[in-house]
Amino acid sequence: MSKISNLLASFSFKKLLSNRKFNIVFSIFLAFVFWLLIVVKENPIIERSFANMTVNINLENTLVSENGMNIIGDISEQKFTVVVRGPTYLISSLKSEDFNLYASAASVDAPGEYSLEVSATPVSAEKGYEILSITPLNIKVSFDYIDTKEFTLKALAEGVTAKEGLIAENAVVSGVETDTVSITGPRSVINKIDSVVAYAKVDKTLSVSETFDADIKLYNAKGKKVKSENLTISETNVKVTVPISKKKTVPVEVDFSNLPKGFDKKSLSYSIDHEKVTIIGTPEAVAKTKKIKLSPINISDISKSTSSFDVSASLPEGIRLLDNIEHFVVKFNINQYSEKIMDVKDLKVENLGNGLKVSGAKIKNVKICGPYSELRNLNSKDIYAVVDLTDKKAGEHSLEVQIGFKDIEKSWAIGKYTTTITIK
């Protein structure tokens, strides 16, 4: 008790007032108290502006949502200023989050651009202030259906030249799994798109094929650009490749299949409607290609009545025809040839299983085509048939045979022939 009495005796209010730090704190406190008393008692009315505010649009239970439409673009880019008025103590504590700006889409019933009136409402239950104005009064909003459509990408490389002796071919799309893209966006914009181009500005002379980064560009049917804003494109990281090729002219050669053993191909006289062609391809592939072979012609299909054939080219990898030729016409000059019908008795077997024996009937009415000089002396001893018995077991089999000749170099059998053989 005596300690408290001593402490009180030593306290001096006069001494406290002479303390500079105390006076500063005490003055601020008194000023706040007086300000609070004035505000509460006098309650002055003030105005305050809130800038850079955005508008919300609720589409629930509207024709917009029922019809599958949506808002096009980012309406948050449109900013609004709100002016409020009320008591100082209330207005000074407000934040922009304390009230909501909204616009109604109830009047929207079709795609298009609308000017919707903007309204404001307090978010909290705090009352006692009013909203004086909203600037601007309306928000511009576009509504449309959202569609998705697939387009084929076309490649365009601008400013490409090739080194002398080489050819810069049309650019192709690369860097993606497929050359199609899906574009999603407003129907009114999607319907304007006629072509989608992967575009690269190259401005370069090339000696080898090169690949470049490309931008997606959209064009309408008149070749004018379509803006890609508000659109979602499935592929944006695309590239274009410019193939560098070489060309040269090479001869065309006829090829044959099912030639009899020992047959002299040079004995056949024929003409080709295109004896030479211009090929194009990679410089390496073109350098290796000395001639173009046609798809083989089955010699058993050639006869006096059938001597003209439409044949396609067998192209090496990396080579294509620069000439617009779908097929070649090969005509055989066999007007001076003769045809002869014979029976074949001599049957030769190949690949007969161990311990097995074979018997077969002769092959009747085999038609032979060849020069008269060979056919006039041709007899049954000069002709034979070969049958392959690979994997054939005991029993009766009907098999195709190949007709061959002994010491005959310029004749062949026309058509296909079969025989029935018995394996024991």
Sign of CA dihedral 261, 264, 269, 274: positive
How high is the pLDDT of residue 175? 83
| Separation of alpha carbons 387 and 382, rounded Å | 17
How high is the pLDDT of residue 14? 57
Token pair recorded at residue 294:
């046609």
How high is the pLDDT of residue 40? 56
pTM for this prediction: 0.62
The ranges assigned to domains in the chain are 2-42, 45-136, 157-242, 246-332, 337-423
Of the candidates 143, 144, 139, the one whose C-alpha atom is nearest the C-alpha of residue 103 is 139
Q: Which CATH architecture has domain 337-423?
A: Beta Complex (2.170)
Query: What is the helix (H) or strand (E) element at residue 132, kind and residue range?
Result: strand 130-135
| Separation of alpha carbons 148 and 186, rounded Å | 9
Of the candidates 338, 330, 363, the one whose C-alpha atom is nearest the C-alpha of residue 348 is 363
Sign of CA dihedral 222, 225, 227, 232: positive
Q: Coil, strand or helix: which one is 43?
A: coil
CATH of 45-136, one of 3.20.20.105, 3.40.470.10, 3.90.1150.10, 2.170.120.30: 2.170.120.30
Asked if the domains 45-136 and 246-332 are classified in one and the same CATH topology, the answer is yes
Token pair recorded at residue 384:
């034979």
Q: What is the mean pLDDT of each run of 10 residues along the chain (424 residues)?
A: 48 59 72 63 81 94 91 94 89 87 94 95 77 95 95 96 93 89 95 96 94 96 94 92 95 95 93 96 94 97 96 94 92 94 92 85 92 92 92 90 93 94 88
End-to-end CA distance of the chain: 138
Q: What is 246-332's CATH number? A: 2.170.120.40
